[in-house]
Structure 1
Amino acid sequence: MSANIIAVINQKGGAGKTTLAMNLAAGLTQRGNTVVLDIDPQGSARQWASMGKGNFSTPVESMSETWDAQGLHQHYPAFRYIVLDCPPSLEKQATHQALQTCDIALIPVLPSPIDLWATLQLSQEIEEIKKTNPAMRAYLVINQLELNSALSAAMQDVLADFGIPVLNAMIRRRAAYRSAALEGVSVYQLGKRGMRAAEEIEAIINEVMPS
């Protein structure tokens, strides 16, 4: 069985792309061999893993050369899941390659209409990519939603017009995500401190991945 390739993308920095990619990979690792490919020149995923001095649950590697889906499957035959942490720009060749390659694209967005409007170009890019990668499924993931709060009516209106499905599962603003990054681990490795956060990541995986 070939690997499932999941790209975590957003043209806007600060949306929580690496947070989602790293914790998603940790959750997928519990289901099968998983690798994170850091294709962001900033190297945020590699920096995260280095903070843990080898304690992060999933291997993290850099990827800078030109590649395609066939190349990834050939280079990582032992892995069931490949998670791509993409650069915060649609202009990067790596982002375009990731969209051409992936089975699933997850787009973390902050819970404000302004941040979502900044992502509209990505919606157009995905529609164009689907002409050559029609099997690709893309989803918006609401990130850093305040605890005990709901999406504003304005946010819901913008989401309805976006053209990309929004996951029911959301990521709340939790100290556990920041702690995991500082300690170089995933929320799964934080014990009780990360339990609620891990439940959120599990909900995302269960919603988007085939059983």
Structure 2
Amino acid sequence: MMKPKVVAVINQKGGTGKTTTTINLGSALSKRGKKVLLVDLDPQSNLSYSLAVTSPAATLADVFLGNKALLDILLEKDGLWIAPGSNELVDIEISLVTQPEREMFLKRILAEATDFDYVLIDCPPSLSVLTLNALTAAEEVLIPLQMEVLTLQGLDQILNTVEKVQNAFNPQLKVRGIVVVMFDVRRKLSQEVLDYLRTNVKENIFNSQIRLNVKLAEAPSFGQSIIDYDPSSKGAADYGALAEEYLSV
């Protein structure tokens, strides 16, 4: 039986390229022959929406409630499998707080997903009970980061949370790396922040940077990954390079 590599894509701020990275890294891995499941754990369901999954018959919330099995809710789109999210995950989050072993639910759910090479979890933009579930279920963490001054402070919080989860629930968890996103080659600050990170952060920083690219912003309106929407764009090239680097490390 296959055991997929489960990867939590986290950043506690919204609008940091988390969903974009989950979708497009997933798509690039799928184009390289990997079977990929994307899990939309964010109550805002941006991942589902970005792949034109707008009113699924059932969602991850139904699986948390025990009304559906994970495999019953999966949808396929452009060679990717999707476990859709929904706004009802807000209620799930509230009810989980009082449950025993509240951090273990997602791990048990994903035990069904044996037929995949990779499971990428798009986490909520907060260090919440749902994110805690993702970190407990995952083997690896990917952190998309913009090169802004405030992201350095945010990075410390993320790394502290990962360390707490390692100590309490998941000693196998490791940070696979930081993905530099929305990189503006024309801004001096972008390069300065990157240089600072390389000097001061012990975590791996992927060499493949995701440059600012208008096509990346357009792709969700068409319900596609950047690789399906515009394979010749910088965004497609950058996520392709990231997938190659990810597979080779």
Q: Which residue of 2 aligns with 1:4?
A: 5
Q: Which residue does the alignment assign to 2:83?
A: 61
Q: Give yes or no for the alignment of 1:134 onto 2:175.
A: no
Give the count of matched residue pairs: 208
Q: CA RMSD in A?
A: 2.6
Using the alignment, how far apart are the partners of 2:238 and 2:193 within structure 1? 24
Report if aligned partners of 2:53, 2:84 keep a CA contact under 8 Å in 1. Answer: no
Q: Which runs of 5+ in 2 are unaligned?
A: 56-75, 93-103
For 2:110, what is the secondary structure of its paired residue? helix
In structure 2, C-alpha distance between the alignment counterparts of 1:116 and 1:171, rounded to whole Å: 18
The reply to whether residue 170 of structure 1 matches residue 214 of structure 2 is no
1:207 shift after superposition:
2.4
Q: Which moved more, 1:108-117 or 1:155-164?
A: 155-164
Q: For 1:25 and 1:52, how far apart are their aligned partners in 2?
A: 19
**Higher Cα Rg: structure 1 or 2?**
2
* C-alpha spacing 1:148/1:192, structure 2 compared with 1 (3 Å): farther
- Match status 1:208 vs 2:246: yes
Corresponding letter in the other structure for 2:130: A
Instruction: Decide which of 43, 46, 58 is 1:44's aligned counterpart.
Output: 46
Which residue number corresponds to residue 67 of structure 2?
none
Residue in 2 that maps onto 1:104: 140
Aligned to 2:17: 16
* Residue 198 (structure 1) shift: 2.0
Within 1, Cα distance between the matches of 2:17 and 2:229? Answer: 19
In the TM superposition, residue 55 of structure 1 has moved relative to its aligned partner by 5.3
Contact 1:12 1:119 in 2 (8 A): no
Q: Percent identity?
A: 24
Bigger mean CA offset, 78-87 vs 27-36: 27-36
1:187 positional shift: 1.2
TM-score by length of 2: 0.74
Instruction: Report the 3-state secondary structure (helix = DSSP H, G, I; strand = E; otherwise coil) of the residue aligned with 1:167.
Output: coil
TM-score calculated relative to the size of structure 1: 0.86
8 Å CA contact retained: 1:176, 1:193 = no
Structure 1 pair 161–147 and aligned structure 2 pair: CA distance change class (3 A): closer
Residues 89-128 of structure 1: pairs in structure 2 closer than 5 A: 89-90=126-127, 92-128=128-164
Contact 2:51 2:225 in 1 (8 A): no
